[in-house]
Structure 1
Amino acid sequence: FFWDRGGEALFAVNHLARRIIEAKTPKETEKSNNPKDTLAQEGLGILIDINGFQKKHIENIHAIAYMMAERARYFKSNIEIDPMPAFERRIVHEFLSDVADLKTESQGEGLSRRVVIKYIGAI
């Protein structure tokens, strides 16, 4: 069930879990002295995975990002990745965040929002 249609149900469960945790934890304005609340205030990242599906999915996104980054370097130009959900775009941004000669940026609106990998040259 969770793997049907590319794991949409599993992604939905993850989204709901994050929303529930956000709703149950104090906001920045309601700071608490409880150390357990600190993680939620800083943006606790959770990921529900079943049989390694999410891990494989993230590894595939990393592979795509790496391949497109190499293409941007080779052609010394901007490369657009196909549209993807915010969760996947964030994975690409984080994966390439420490690369000195490339910069990532999200462009587009709604379902057509995608990551553009920009070649900025040697720094």
Structure 2
Amino acid sequence: MDRKNKKILMLRNKQSLMLRNKKDKVKITKEIAEEMLSLLGIEAKIKFEEDKESKAVKIQIETGEPGILIGYHGETLSALQMLLGIIVSKKVGEWTRIVVNIGDYRERREEVLERMALSAAQKAKFSGEPVILPPLSAQDRRVIHLTLSSHPDVISESEGEGESRRLVVKPKK
């Protein structure tokens, strides 16, 4: 077989493998997530599903030690989610969105953020001054923006760059 035909055959094999991997996204994610938790020495029950609408692979982890996986304000959880996304995407050959939830952390965090948003809206409305919220992740800022998007008395804006990016709640004029 000449060199050109070898390259074509290798390319076809790689494409075939990638196509097969795309179909097995959940299976690949399951293997990688279980291996990561095993290496961390964490025993957990894990459920996996592919969200047909968003095409994301959702992972629900139940463990007796959720704090270790969640970390401060979900930083460890976000890092775990990002690492899983990168590793799975490399294996599958296309970007794969991974959403990890530990216990009911995401739901509880969303409730806290919604209360924070409404409290800031009240302050801004009654004081007439902008309210600057503490630093939040992009995902957390999004929850607050969505919560306040239909609020009749305030608007929310993100200001700044990088680590110093803040969300500001301002009264409507």
TM value normalised by structure 2: 0.51
User: Structure 2 residue aligned with 1:109, among 156, 161, 165?
Assistant: 161
User: Structure 2 residue aligned with 1:91, among 123, 143, 163?
Assistant: 143
Root mean square deviation of aligned Cα: 2.3
Q: CA deviation at 1:17?
A: 5.0
**Corresponding residue number in structure 2 for 1:59:** 111
Paired residues, number: 102
Which structure 1 segments of 5+ residues have no match? 26-39
Q: Which has the bigger relative contact order, CA under 8 A and spacing at least 6?
A: 1
TM value normalised by structure 1: 0.70
Indicate whether 1:24 and 2:94 are aligned: yes
**Greater gyration radius:** 2
8 Å CA contact 1:102–1:120 kept in 2: the answer is: yes
Percent of aligned positions that are identical: 28
After superposition, the C-alpha distances for 1:63-89 in whole angstroms (9 at most, x for unaligned) are 111111111111122111111111111
**Corresponding residue number in structure 2 for 1:77:** 129
3-state SS in 2 of match to 1:98:
coil
The structure richer in strand per residue is 2
- Give the distance between the partners of 2:132 and 2:73, measured in 1 at CA: 22
